[in-house]
Amino acid sequence: MKIQCGTCGAEQTVLNPVAVSVQCPYCDAISLLVDKEWTRTGKKSRLSQGFSRLYRGAFCRIEGVEYQIVGRVRYSFGRGFWDEWFSLTEMGKGVWITEDDHTFAVQQRVEATDITKQQGKVSLHDEVSVEGRTYRITEMGKAVCLGLEGELPKEILPDEQYDYADGTSLDGDYALGIEYDDEPPTVFIGRWIHPREITIL
């Protein structure tokens, strides 16, 4: 799909079929898909590459599956930041590759009714069950969007913020992310990935 930036007029190809937020690679302006029309937000975003091996446009292989990275959003948690890379499989399925201090997790959104039906938020050290696996909440805080690039499947703008909770399965193999950005909250689960399991193609 090709769209035209409402700020600079440059044409760009959008690879993500469910993109909602798009950053222009030429002028950094952010557009949102509103009522099937791309609308200017008046905001711009430019992110430094940092020290990651990953980058927008990269192809990588994880556990035999190939991904193309089409977008990134960076969040601050007060003492530092983490990156979330939105990626597409060869079949067009979207996943998030979360990177925090060179620790990675490949995560997908799930309908976790046992969490979303709770009144209020989970607490630190709580144990919660998602899809038959038990997780312990290990971190809670407030996420603040520092910026974004590329194509993302949800409305995200710089300076937006929400509360979050992260957890790890009791066996240490799986990651849980809860974002209190909506009602009910958004829940993601996935597997922790060692950096050597990621091959840049």
pTM of the model: 0.88
Structural domain boundaries of the chain? 2-44, 59-200
pLDDT in tens, 12-66: 888 888 889 999 989 999 999 888 888 888 888 888 776 788 999 999 999 999 9
Long-range contacts of 169-173 (CB under 8 A, 24+ apart): 169/133, 169/134, 169/135, 169/136, 170/127, 170/134, 170/135, 170/136
pLDDT in tens, 119-157: 568 899 999 888 889 999 999 999 999 999 999 998 989
